[in-house]
């Protein structure tokens, strides 16, 4: 019953078409295949009967005895054919050949032995009484051997197809995991390569041809077997334990699916919600951008690369992709202890296999002494600055800390890079920095200004920036939020029916940063051509449909998941932009990556702006900070009247100048 459920679920969760065996046998109809098995069994029957005479006599005289018992061959051939059809022996599927099939085959062998005895007695044939018993044993062994040989041939074929199949690891080698592996072995779309289990008594065993390993080996096993999906077959495990495992496995860059509990299976719940994850690529509304270029490897090979915010969504993906570039060392810089532990645990096995040292350093980008010490001690040559507060509603309510981390933190890391003579400094920015209506976007625009200003007086270090659209799958993006809302039955919340956003995937975002580092000339702003922006409402509808549910119609009440419009949040825009001036665009060696040279604030203006930010933070004056942003950031508007005297700066086109 469980296998039936799993097979149905398995058919739903795979979108890749199965690759059929191109051999003439596998292209035959089911009836033709059954006739082949039926004929093979008849041949085995006659061969085993003749061999029984050979073994009984052990001398050349067996042929004479057999010639006198020729009616036995005829009767057994006819009786065997009838018996095979009665017990439906040719209809037993080879891939499902197990204990019950063996018992059926054994029963047929015993019935044939009795038939041979009765025939010899009734026809008064000179057949020794031991021949029927030897015949039955030989028939059972030879028929079983023929089937095992066929299964082996199918397995060889499956191994060849393994390059096209989804390569699966099953976490849990208990009853549920074993049944899941048996079900998957009958599928063309997926193949179980390994079991993982915490039980040391199971580790090292081979269950159904699949070896069992300890979970700590998962990173190496993923690389060795090219595993792309891990199935969690622990339906009785507590939800907290499952969530812990999911978080740790996702860090390895593979997809995770949960086997529903028996209660969920019986109630027909859990299959769609838990076994049908939505891939970010299904929501892009465009084809993936191929960002694999030789320039990336050349730019980072043999360099010491430091990634700030290494434990975040973008930072961790940057670290994983850097391994392929063969840098001299990867320095992980992160303020969150658990985030640093997670990326270190994920990255270190991959880096060790590639012979790349990994250095993990706790610290905040707002601590100048710590940043400078790490950069100097590790001999950093390239800095990828991904550390930032990015959640719009949170930064909107904590504007002083947002400015401290995003603006002053960027200044501190950039100053350390310039002072140490770092080769390249790449700032990870956002499309929300262009004419922002929220504090988060404004702080990122101010950070860009800091970097642009430093470039004007930096003879050694090349400073550049990368502006992202919304990164699907990152923490705080709509993908995990909508998935959780769908799993709980909805409603899915959308702020406004007309809100649009540019979207990219985490791998695309990380690759864009690495390419920016390779192409950087100084002061550049890199953006990815992401096609047309997507409506968030359309994304919500598509996710509901891809999850196997229907959008609930507000008028009729028909459907599964409702979509609720909640209204724009403070600081949220209906649409985002990537550039302040579209006319500033220039081409790069990659056709999908564009570069812009934007206007720069003078050193005096940037210095005054930074002093005001520090003053606002020291005094805890959020209103002062907001008024400051209204002056320096084009597009940012404040609703309060200015009551604090700020430096008198000439303003042109909404941007303060020195």
Give the pLDDT score at 91: 65
Cα 30 from chain centre: 37
Give the pLDDT score at 292: 63
CB of 241 within 8 A of CB of 248?
no
Give dist(CA 111, CA 226) in Å, integer.
49
Kindly report which listed range (240-244, 368-372, 444-448, 626-630) carries the lowest average pLDDT score: 240-244
Q: Cite the DSSP H helix spans in 92-238.
A: 99-122, 130-161, 175-185, 218-225
Name the phi and psi angles at 561, rounded to 5.
-120, 125
State the average pLDDT over residues 248-271. Answer: 63
For 266-284, the pLDDT digits (tens) are: 444 444 444 445 555 555 5
Name the phi and psi angles at 331, rounded to 5.
-105, 115
Kindly report which listed range (127-131, 320-324, 416-420, 468-472) carries the lowest average pLDDT score: 468-472
Best mean pLDDT range from 39-43, 49-53, 426-430: 426-430
Strand, coil or helix: 287: coil
Sign of the C-alpha dihedral computed for residues 640, 641, 644 and 645 taken in this order: positive
DSSP code at position 281: G
Phi/psi zone of residue 119: left (φ > 0), alpha (ψ -120 to 50 degrees), beta? alpha
What is the value of pTM for the model shown?
Answer: 0.57
Could you give all domains of the chain from N- to C-terminal order, each with its CATH number?
Answer: 20-159 (no CATH), 165-277 (3.40.50.720), 294-596 (3.40.50.720), 614-656 (no CATH)
Q: How many CA atoms lie within 13 A of 61 on its CB side?
A: 5
CB of 370 within 8 A of CB of 387?
no
With a cut of 60, say whether residue 516 has pLDDT above it.
yes
Q: Which of 509, 500, 508 is nearest to 478 (CA)?
A: 500
Give dist(CA 619, CA 191) in Å, integer.
62
CB of 519 within 8 A of CB of 593?
yes
Give the pLDDT score at 263: 47
Q: Cite the DSSP H helix spans in 366-502.
A: 368-377, 392-397, 399-403, 409-420, 439-455, 478-487
With a cut of 60, say whether residue 162 has pLDDT above it.
no
Q: Which of 348, 44, 116 is nearest to 223 (CA)?
A: 348
Give the pLDDT score at 158: 54
H/E element holding 485? helix 478-487
DSSP code at position 421: T
With a cut of 90, say whether residue 29 has pLDDT above it.
no
With a cut of 80, say whether residue 480 has pLDDT above it.
no
Give dist(CA 650, CA 181) in Å, integer.
71
Beta bridge partners of 255: 229
Average pLDDT, the chain: 78
Enzyme catalytic residues: 432
Give the pLDDT score at 612: 94
Sign of the C-alpha dihedral computed for residues 517, 466, 315 and 591 taken in this order: negative
CB of 27 within 8 A of CB of 20?
yes
Best mean pLDDT range from 107-111, 179-183, 536-540: 107-111
Give the pLDDT score at 422: 94
Quote the tokens at residue 131.
Answer: 């021949």
């Amino acid at each position: 019953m469980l296998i039936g459920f799993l097979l149905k679920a398995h058919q739903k969760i795979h979108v890749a078409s199965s690759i059929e065996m191109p051999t003439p046998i596998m292209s035959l109809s089911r009836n033709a295949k059954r006739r082949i098995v039926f004929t093979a069994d008849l041949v085995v029957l006659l061969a085993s009967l003749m061999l029984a005479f050979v073994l009984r006599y052990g001398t050349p005289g067996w042929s004479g005895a057999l010639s006198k018992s020729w009616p036995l061959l005829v009767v057994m051939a006819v009786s065997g054919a009838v018996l095979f059809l009665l017990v439906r022996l040719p209809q037993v599927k080879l891939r499902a050949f197990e204990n019950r099939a063996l018992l059926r085959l054994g029963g047929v062998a015993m019935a044939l032995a009795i038939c041979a005895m009765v025939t010899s007695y009734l026809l008064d044939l000179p057949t020794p009484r031991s021949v029927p018993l030897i015949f039955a044993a030989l028939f059972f062994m030879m028929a079983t051997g023929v089937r095992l040989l066929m299964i082996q041939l199918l397995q060889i074929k499956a191994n060849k197809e393994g390059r096209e199949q989804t390569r699966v690891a099953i976490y849990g080698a208990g009853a549920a995991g074993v049944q899941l592996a048996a079900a998957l072995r009958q599928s063309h779309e997926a193949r179980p390569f390994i079991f993982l289990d915490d039980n040391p008594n199971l580790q090292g065993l081979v269950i159904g041809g699949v070896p069992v390993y300890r979970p700590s080996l998962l990173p190496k096993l993923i690389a060795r077997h090219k595993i792309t999906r891990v199935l969690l077959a622990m339906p009785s495990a507590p939800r907290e334990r499952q969530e812990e495992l999911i978080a740790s496995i996702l860090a390895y860059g593979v997809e995770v699916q949960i086997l529903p509990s028996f209660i969920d299976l019986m109630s027909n719940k859990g299959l769609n919600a838990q076994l049908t994850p939505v891939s970010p690529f299904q929501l892009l509304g465009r084809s993936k951008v191929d960002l694999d270029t030789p320039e990336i490897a050349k730019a980072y090979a043999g360099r010491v690369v430091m990634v700030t915010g290494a434990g975040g969504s973008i930072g961790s993906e940057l670290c994983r992709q850097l391994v392929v570039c063969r840098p001299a060392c990867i320095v992980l810089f992160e303020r969150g202890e658990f985030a640093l532990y997670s990326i270190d645990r994920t990255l270190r096995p991959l880096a060790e296999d590639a012979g790349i040292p990994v250095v993990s350093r706790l610290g905040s980008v707002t601590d100048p002494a710590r940043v400078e010490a790490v950069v100097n001690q590790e001999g950093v040559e390239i800095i990828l600055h991904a550390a930032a507060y990015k959640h719009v509603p949170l930064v909107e309510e904590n504007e002083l800390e947002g400015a401290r981390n995003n603006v002053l933190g960027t200044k501190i890391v950039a100053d350390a890079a310039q002072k140490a003579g770092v080769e390249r400094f790449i700032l990870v920015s956002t499309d929300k920095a262009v004419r922002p209506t929220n504090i988060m976007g404004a702080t990122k625009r101010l950070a860009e200004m800091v970097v642009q200003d430093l470039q004007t007086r930096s003879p050694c270090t090349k400073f550049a920036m990368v502006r992202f659209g919304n990164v699907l799958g990152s923490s705080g993006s709509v993908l995990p939020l909508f998935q959780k809302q769908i799993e709980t039955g909805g409603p899915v919340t959308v702020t406004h029916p007309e809100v649009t956003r540019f979207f990219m995937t985490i791998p695309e975002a990380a690759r864009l940063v690495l390419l920016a580092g390779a192409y950087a000339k100084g002061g550049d702003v890199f953006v990815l051509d992401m096609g047309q922006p997507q409506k968030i409402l359309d994304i919500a509808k598509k996710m509901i449909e891809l999850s196997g549910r229907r959008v609930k119609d507000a008028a009729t009440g028909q459907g599964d998941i409702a979509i609720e419009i909640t209204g724009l949040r403070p600081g949220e825009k209906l649409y985002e932009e990537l550039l302040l001036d579209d006319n500033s665009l220039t081409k790069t060696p990659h056709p999908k990556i564009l570069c812009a040279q934007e206007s720069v604030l003078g050193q005096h203006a940037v210095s005054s702006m930074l002093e005001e930010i520090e003053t606002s933070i020291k005094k805890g004056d959020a209103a002062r900070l907001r008024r400051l942003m209204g002056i320096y950031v084009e597009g940012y508007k404040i609703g309060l009247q200015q009551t604090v005297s700020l430096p008198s700066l000439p303003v042109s086109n909404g941007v303060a100048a020195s």
